[in-house]
Amino acid sequence: MAKHRLTVVVVGCGRLGSLVASRLSEAGHSVVVVDANPDAFGALGRTFSGFTITGDAAELAVLERAEVGRADLLVAATSLDTVNLMVTQAAIHVLGCRSAIARVFDPRREATYRQLGVETICPTTLAAAELFERVTAAGREGGA
Ligand code: AMP
């Protein structure tokens, strides 16, 4: 169980968001998940004990309903980089969320987003680094 119970809003309950939300909830954190498609919440684990909100996260009213302003952290994991950027900016600069992380698919956008003060996580960059490590390790050991 988590020492410090955090309040986390996860926006986008797809492959990444549902996993993150389920794990955070299981670890004892208070989690609110937002998705435009209510069917997406079916991907949450059975032990998920947080709240779900159906709505377009690009609408400020939806983020307000999720009480983003009271959250310790927001994770923006919708399928669109631009929506994730907008959501993290609104969360911090308009609603007063303490911190926010955006999933960014396009590595070329990562630097720009960081210049705007947005914390990012790019699956493509992470996968490339991991693949590089594995290939060079296999090379050191003399075969894959
Ligand atoms: P995935 O790419 O599998 O991680 O899934 C992304 C999730 O983001 C899907 O469940 C979509 O329904 C959700 N999504 C996409 N756009 C929005 C949006 N504007 N507001 C809320 N959820 C969204």
Report pLDDT digits (tens) over 87-99.
999 999 999 999 9
| Strand order across the beta sheet in which 73-76 lies | 51-54, 30-35, 7-11, 73-76, 99-103, 119-121
Backbone dihedral region of 67: left (phi > 0), alpha (psi from -120 to 50 degrees) or beta? left
Kindly give the distance from the C-alpha atom of residue 6 to the centroid of ligand 1, in angstroms, as a whole number.
23
43 CB near ligand 1 (under 6 Å) = no
Atom in ligand 1 nearest the alpha carbon of residue 40:
10
pTM of the model: 0.94
- The pLDDT of residue 25 is 97
- The predicted-structure confidence for 21-68, as pLDDT tens digits, reads as follows 999 999 999 999 999 999 999 999 889 999 999 999 999 999 999 999
Kindly give the distance from the C-alpha atom of residue 129 to the centroid of ligand 1, in angstroms, as a whole number.
26
Kindly give the distance from the C-alpha atom of residue 82 to the centroid of ligand 1, in angstroms, as a whole number.
12
